[in-house]
Amino acid sequence: MQKKLSLLEIILIGIGLAMDCFAVSISFSVIKKEIKFFEALKIAIFFGIFQAIMPVLGWLLSLTFKEYIQEFDHWIAFGILGTIGVKMLVESLKKTNKKQIQITNFWLIISLSIATSLDALIIGVSFAFLKVNITEAVIIIGIITLFISMVGFRMGMSLGSVFGKRAELIGGIVLIGIGTKILIEHLIS
């Protein structure tokens, strides 16, 4: 029996996935103290688009294998969400070197958009094993990412770099929590 994700769970997944973009946005605005609104919006749009596209790609790839692994799909969802969550926790605890970079460089924006959305690709794989309206989910994830990225730019200018790592920590905890909830619900039913 497939687990149906609620709207709240999709929103929480979107928030969890957006935390990498949030952390990058904060870092960008710390590096470039007075980032222009349209520069921030451009970057946030790229982040949102990539966060929306990647789950679709993962979902499409995994549909091919769905029938073979349906009996242990809840373990797959738990493993994927848990692994990403742990990765985010570990990343949030690492020390980083700050160096001056040109944050409006097109290729840098594309590279960061891809890097921050790889987790979303893997989430898309787990969506194939859950009851989820993929169109609704990716629209929600993309919009949340765009919004959270814009908030990150604003907060970075105000709060500095301290909050960035905490955001990734919270995102990791949220993803681990959702994965655990899916596993427990399936094992109980």
CA distance 80 to 133: 19
pLDDT of residue 164: 55
Looking at per-residue pLDDT, the higher value among 179 and 39 belongs to 39
Per-residue pLDDT tens digits for 45-89 = 999 999 999 999 989 988 777 667 667 767 877 887 788 778 777
Per-residue pLDDT tens digits for 74-84 = 787 788 778 87
CA distance 117 to 47: 8
Tokens representing 90 are: 């570990």
| pTM score | 0.72
CA distance 141 to 52: 6
Cα-flanking dihedrals φ and ψ of residue 131, to 5°?
-80, 110
> Is residue 16, in this structure, part of any structural domain at all?
yes
Task: Report, in angstroms and rounded to the nearest whole number, the Rg of the chain calculated over CA atoms.
Answer: 17
> Is residue 131, in this structure, part of any structural domain at all?
yes
Cα-flanking dihedrals φ and ψ of residue 99, to 5°?
-140, 155
Q: Structural domain tally of the chain? A: 1
> Is residue 38, in this structure, part of any structural domain at all?
yes
Range of the domain at 32: 7-95+116-188
> Is residue 183, in this structure, part of any structural domain at all?
yes
Residue bearing tokens 């242990």: 72
